[in-house]
Amino acid sequence: MRRDSFNPFSSACSKRRPELSVKTCTLYQVDAFTKDLFSGNPAGVVTNAGGLSAAQMQAIARECNNSETAFILPAEGRDHDVRVRFFTPVVEVPSCGHATIGAHYARAVEHHLSSCTVIQKIGAGILPVDIEKNGDDYRIVMTQGEIAFSELPDSDLEHAVIRALGLDASDRDRRCPVQIVSTGHSKVMVGIKKRETLHALRPDLQALARLSGRIRCNGYFVFTFDAESQNILTHGRMFAPAIGISEDPVTGNANGPLGAYIVRHRLVPVTDGLFTFRGKQGEAMGRPGIVDVEVAHEHGNPVRVRVGGQAVIVFRTQIHV
């Protein structure tokens, strides 16, 4: 009895294979809040994410393993120009400062934009992003979401947060109440006296993650007015282990709320209805960056926060999913 050989690479066999739907995505790695490669805060940016599922976006963000990856999608209505979604390696978040800077920088470079305002729809709302062209480069300024202040539930939780951050009561800047502040994505504000203490912090990340569920806030921003130069007002560090970010190098969604917090508590003299400052972050991680913050205020009450910065593209590639 004759037995025909089986060739798995024969045309007959290949015809029975199902067709695979493949989407080619353009992926950028962008360092935000800096012009120096390998500093600032790295963000993944997919500029043509239309057609990707949420599961695919989450998988790409996990593979990139940045604190956030931004996905630019077509507009869903006439009230905005683009939709942007942000994913940490483990979860989607409503807003992200450095990934917004990175996303709109990459998009501006890709489309050779002139100075303009782009209206983006994100989880925190529909908000403008200003593209400022300077020669052949760009600066990006984002308007952040609604400003909100809330207190920690009780003093015991406040003490638990201080302990989990590795701080003592004597480290605290007593002008600065521990408070949750949001401009679209909330952070716990913790002011301390010394920059040396800030850079030496070794927080208990598991304890912080557990506390996040109790206080309903995932990020902890520790800052100091003990600045290294007259051009810098604050230095800070941000920890968010509950959403997969042990430490974030340079955080727009922390420095922005910090600006509102400074105005609210009158921690520095504020005049003329517009308070501006520069915050520095990332030194402890070897990735320093600068965030420019503007806070519009009325009668000492913050009403709008804008965060700006520069960026640099590290690489551009394509992925097939």
Question: Pick the catalytic residue: 68, 158, 247, 283?
Answer: 68
Token pair listed for 26: 């353009």
28: Cβ contacts below 8 Å, ≥ 6 apart: 44, 45, 46, 47, 102, 106, 313, 314, 315, 316
| Dist. CA 237–CA 209, nearest whole Å | 16
Token pair listed for 95: 């807003």
SS (H, E, C) the chain: CCCCCCCCCCHHHHHCCCCCCCCEEEEEEEEECCCCCCCCEEEEEECCCCCCCHHHHHHHHHHHCCCCEEEEEECCCCCCCEEEEEECCCCEECCCHHHHHHHHHHHHHHHCCCCEEEEEEECCEEEEEEEEEECCEEEEEEECCCCEEEECCCHHHHHHHHHHCCCCHHHECCCCCCEEEECCCCEEEEEECCHHHHHHCCCCHHHHHHHHHHHCCCEEEEEECCCCCCCCCEEEEEEEHHHCEEEECCCHHHHHHHHHHHHHCCCCCCCCCEEEEEEEECHHHCCCEEEEEEEEEECCEEEEEEEEECEEEEEEEEEEC
Distances (CA, A) of 121 to 79, 100, 155: 9, 11, 37
Task: Specify whether 68 is catalytic.
Answer: yes
Q: Are residues 142 and 306 in contact, defined by beta-carbon separation less than 8 angstroms?
A: yes
The residues that are catalytic are 68
